[in-house]
Chain A
Amino acid sequence: MIEFKHVNKWFGKLHVLDDVNLEIDKGEVLVICGPSGSGKSTLIRCINRLEPIQEGEIVVDGVPVHDKATNLTKLRADIGFVFQQFHLYPHMTVLQNVMLAPVNVRKIPSDKAEEIAREKLIQVGLTDKAGAYPAQLSGGQQQRVAIARGLAMSPKIMLFDEPTSALDPEMIGEVLDVMVNLVSEGMTMCVVTHEMGFARKVADRVLFMDMGKIVETGKPDEFFDNPQTHRAADFISKILTH
């Protein structure tokens, strides 16, 4: 479904992605972790070309992402992206936030789009918030709206960039529940997160990055209980102790 072939990317002199090779299957749930600045966010931001790459190739569902001829609108419409800071549109209601792209990108008539949007809001457990503005919601609710906004496009892939890192501890659970729910529906997901509980519960594979390189990959239990590299062991001990 997603394939990285010898991907290299630099921010100035900083080598943020260093010869990344990776294959993600349809329906797979991949958790990416690693210290800050290791390139994990950049990695998933390249999948829908929020970031350019300098070398190599990324292919999503048969489409070369960084090819000039690629229909970016179509590509991006098929990939949902959830940000750490939610990034809802503050001047629109929850319902309008969720409907915007279906109506204007997918060209779905607005009554049908509203139906879909309400359905997705039910799915994330926010039935009664359709008319609210983002500022009236808690962080956890905002992030669930952001997930519904992604789902309303019926994406083939959902990308999550630290979806719970900006949340108060008591709100993390409600967002993770929605994500676990998505996994059970067979969604292909790449999740940048340090939520070990989530990773152990639903991830098919954990990928550990450091300094732009994929250092280690493995089944979640193997990775967390018995990391193969010193760097990963060090990192796990650090996120465990706090």
Chain B
Amino acid sequence: MLADFNFRIIFEYLPLFLEGLRSTFFISIVSIFLALITGIIACACRISPFKLLKYPAIAYIEIIRSTPLLVQIYFLYFGLPTLGVRVPEIQTGIIALMLNSGAYIAEIIRAGITSVDDGQIEAGVSSGLNYLQRMRFIILPQAIGATVPPLLGQSIVLVKDSALLSLISVMELTRVGQTMTSERFMPAEAFFTVAFFYMCIYFCLKALADWSQKKLIFREAY
């Protein structure tokens, strides 16, 4: 079976694959960065006592989490032009990934914050520390340590989710596989290569996640 596997064509298409890899990489990095900002803002609103901030944040998070990413991508891709907003596919894709991951990241950060024991917060309150001081000195240092590994997990999800952008013809890794398939009809070779590159990204991020797990979780138990 392996004898039938055409490695030559993979090498022939390698420049295109690398171009796709570069594009996937670029889309992922930008989307993760923007999603992180979105997530932090959404989380801050979500836990704020002000209803005007809190309820829109809940609505945003729940809408994103209750609908498929593909639907969200199509919604933006077909919906934005009807609203008169014309943006290139790649930007539509990045916005979709940003909004999607942002909602999950908001919940990850919230989980990190609420994981800090209430008693410590009371201890802070009773020694006279105000809300911002408690956040800065007690809650965030512990929440960040607890948040980084799941955030890297979410980044891995986002990289794989970016494959869906091939459906709105963004020329990323998966799209390259589709292109090769339609030009040469060698889907096995095409998607074997695509999968290989995704795995490369995955293992890099996983190594980072494992490292951060060791490094950032503070020494709780001896």
A interface residues with partner B (beta carbon < 8 Å): 48, 50, 72-74, 76-77, 79-81, 83, 85, 87-91, 100-101, 104-105, 133, 135-136, 146, 149-150, 153
Apart from A100-B127, A104-B133: 15 A-B pairs, beta carbons within 8 A = A77-B127, A83-B119, A83-B123, A87-B122, A88-B123, A89-B137, A89-B138, A90-B120, A90-B142, A91-B142, A105-B133, A146-B123, A149-B127, A153-B127, A153-B128
Interface of B is mostly: helix
Distance between B130 CB and nearest chain A CB, rounded to angstroms = 6
CA distance A76 to B129 in the complex (A): 9
B interface residues with partner A (beta carbon < 8 Å): 117, 119-120, 122-123, 125-130, 133, 137-138, 141-142, 145, 218-222
With A50-B122, A50-B125, A87-B123 known as contacts, the answer to whether A73 contacts B130 (CB < 8 A) is: yes
CA distance A90 to B121 in the complex (A): 12
Q: Which residue on chain B has the smallest CB distance to residue A75? A: B128
With A135-B219, A135-B220, A136-B222 known as contacts, the answer to whether A89 contacts B130 (CB < 8 A) is: no
| Contact (Cβ within 8 A) A89 B219 | no
> Which single member of B120, B128, B137, B219 contacts A73 (CB below 8 Å)?
B128
With A104-B133, A104-B137, A135-B222 known as contacts, the answer to whether A77 contacts B128 (CB < 8 A) is: yes
CA distance A50 to B128 in the complex (A): 11
> Which single member of B119, B126, B142, B220 contacts A79 (CB below 8 Å)?
B126
| Contact (Cβ within 8 A) A101 B122 | no
Contacts of B120 in A (CB 8 A): 87-90
Contacts of B220 in A (CB 8 A): 90, 135
Contacts of B137 in A (CB 8 A): 89, 100, 104
CA distance A73 to B138 in the complex (A): 17
| Contact (Cβ within 8 A) A76 B125 | yes
| Contact (Cβ within 8 A) B218 A101 | no
CA distance A87 to B142 in the complex (A): 14
Contacts of A146 in B (CB 8 A): 123
**Nearest 7 A-B pairs (CB), nearest first?**
A77-B128, A101-B127, A87-B119, A81-B126, A87-B123, A105-B128, A76-B128
